[in-house]
Amino acid sequence: MEVRGVVTPASWSYPLPAGGIREEFAICCDASGPVRLLIVPALFEEGNKLRRLTVRVMRNLADAGIDTFLPDLPGCNESLQDLAQQEPADWLDAAMAAARHFGATHTLGIRGGCMFTPRNLPALHYAPVKAETIMRQMYRARVLSAREAGRDETREALAEIAMTQGITLSGYSLGADFCRHFGTMAPTPGAARIPQEDIGGSGLWLRAEPDDSPAQAATLASRIVQALSQ
């Protein structure tokens, strides 16, 4: 049995669409308790900016007796799979596989991760966001970067390239199939929402660099505990 509050690495098995099994990475706070929360992380650059907050929330939840599991989606973070080859369906399947592997009883989506919370589990969504909003922000960042480099790019032209050829945005290489299917996605319906206004302060994803907020983490963990106890 693990000591509560200690974050440990783990691996979990993900079935590949064409057959076979691939191992993926996760971090866990697992004391073999009855309440087991799968966390589907924020996506792309927002995931980087919210990583510290997410891990701090996991530790706070461990102190409250809730086990947590934060898996890498295929192609993200420590995953050895090629992000450019992923499709949204792969991430949905992966989240389901991670939930089964860790015996999750509930799931928490964070920002874009709210679109990939398994539908068969009771879900909480922290500051959920649509794919359209994520893509718009990433297009805007590339347009601004191109402008600083003396290039003329437009969101409309980039979107056309993304849908037909795939595209690299904010350092993330996305395939055309991913862009076509992801752009219309919305958070999984039926989840209980935890808006940022309930947490206090501005969302850490809005900051220029990855940051931390013990106060926001404590408040978010408290809201999660409250929701899971209802």
Domain chopping of the chain, boundaries: 8-130+188-228, 131-184
pLDDT of 33 reads: 93
Angstrom CA distances, 112 to 65, 134, 180, stand at 26, 8, 16
Residue 12 tokens, joined: 């979990």
pLDDT digits (tens, 9 = 90+) for 124-183: 999 999 999 999 999 999 999 999 989 999 999 999 999 999 999 999 999 999 999 999
**Positions of the chain with pLDDT lower than 50, given as ranges:** 1-2
pLDDT at position 4, please?
A: 60
Residues in the chain: 230
Distance in angstroms (rounded) separating the CA atoms of residues 71 and 78: 10
Output the pLDDT for position 1: 42
Give the fold, CATH level 3, of 8-130+188-228: Rossmann fold (3.40.50)
**pLDDT, position 2:** 46
Q: What is the pLDDT of residue 136?
A: 95
What pLDDT is recorded for position 5?
67
